[in-house]
Structure 1
Amino acid sequence: MTRPPEFPVDPDVDLHVPADRGELAAHPAAVLGVIAAGGVLGALARAGLQAAFPHPPTGFPWATFGVNVVGSFLIGVLMAVLTARPAGPLVRPFLGVGVLGGFTTFSTYAVDAQRALAAGAPGTALAYLAATLVGALLAAWAGDAVAGRLLARSAGAAR
């Protein structure tokens, strides 16, 4: 019995999609380099927004909430675009994992909730935790749906 060829495992890559498999051929150092460069850009953008819109420990962390929801929307858009129009093997790691991964932040989300709890604002912490989870999931879905429709419409208009 012959076994199918083994591919390196990347949980973000659908091995049934030839364009996704192409990402695995990129040199690991190049992939790590673009992820790191993108991560720096995304983290700087997030830090800038959080510095521009600070909040007290008992207040709702609107900057982090906004970053996570907008970042999730953009991840949905990016995935729709890359599904419709495959790009080079370093585009998704740079934009998706690097820039948007550095921009969105689970760690600050958790720290903001912990600080609100420690400051005696459990209602704010729970509202923030739930709103971020629901908002980010809906935003990723909406980004994918809106971009997918716009891409389909532009492809239909181009025919």
Structure 2
Amino acid sequence: MNWVLVIIGGMVGAPLRYLADRAVQRRHDTVFPWGTFVVNVAGCFVLGLLSGAVPAGAAGSPVQLLLGTGLCGALTTYSTFSYETLRLAEDGARLFAAVNVVASVVAGLGAAFAGVSLADALWA
């Protein structure tokens, strides 16, 4: 039954990633991959929140499978991040490529820590 929760989460996360990416990218006239950046940081925040909620007893294993593994697994995308960074570097936008790498790691970790901190504030 666990695999069904992962599938359902993935069925929501994948189209959500596509739609969010398109919506964000449409608002920014730049080569920087803002859409992928936003969905990856949002996914890090949700995973951080879940990482704090589960040990506090505010969410159980089924929620973790549905939202963490399924939704966030399909919402976030390391492969697209890697491809877009490589494309930026190959197209001569090396500064944007470097900023994408550094900003994604820093913002992703910051969002995960913020999620855990929020969970601690809410359920500790």
Question: Paired residue for 1:100?
Answer: 72
1:131-157, CA deviations, whole angstroms, 9 ceiling, x for partnerless residues?
Answer: 1011101110111012211223xxxxx
The corresponding residue for 1:81 is 53
Provide the TM-score with structure 2 as the length reference. 0.88
Does the residue aligned with 2:25 lie in a helix, a strand or coil? coil
Give the conservation status (yes or no) of the 8 Å contact 2:53–2:59: no
1:87 Cα deviation (Å)?
Answer: 4.2
**Distance in 2 separating the partners of 1:113 and 1:35:** 28
> Is 1:35 aligned to residue 6 of structure 2?
yes
Residues 1-40 of structure 1 mapped to structure 2, 5 A cutoff? 30-40=1-11
Q: Percent identity?
A: 37
For residues 38-90 of structure 1, give each alpha carbon's deviation from its aligned partner in whole angstroms, at most 9, with x where no partner exists: 1121111110011223379x711111111111110111111211111154442
Larger Rg: 1
State the distance in 2 between where 1:129 and 1:31 align: 34
Aligned counterpart in structure 2 of residue 65 of structure 1, from 37, 51, 57: 37
- Pair 1:126-2:108 in alignment: no
Q: Which residue of 2 aligns with 1:48?
A: 19
Change (3 A) 1:98 1:150: same
Q: Which has a greater percent of helix?
A: 2
- For 2:24 and 2:45, the matched residues in 1 are separated by 20
Moved over 3 A (4+): 86-89
Q: In structure 2, what residue type is equivalent to 1:60?
A: F
Residue correspondence of structure 1 range 136-147 to structure 2 within 5 A: 136-147=108-119
Question: What are structure 1's unaligned runs of at least 5 residues?
Answer: 1-29, 153-159
Count of aligned pairs between the two proteins: 122
With over 3 angstroms needed to count, the CA separation of the structure-2 counterparts of 1:35 and 1:140, relative to structure 1, is same
Residues 86 and 150 (structure 1), Cα distance of their counterparts in 2 relative to 1, 3 Å cut: closer
Q: CA deviation at 1:125?
A: 0.5
Distance 1:39 1:72 in 2: 16
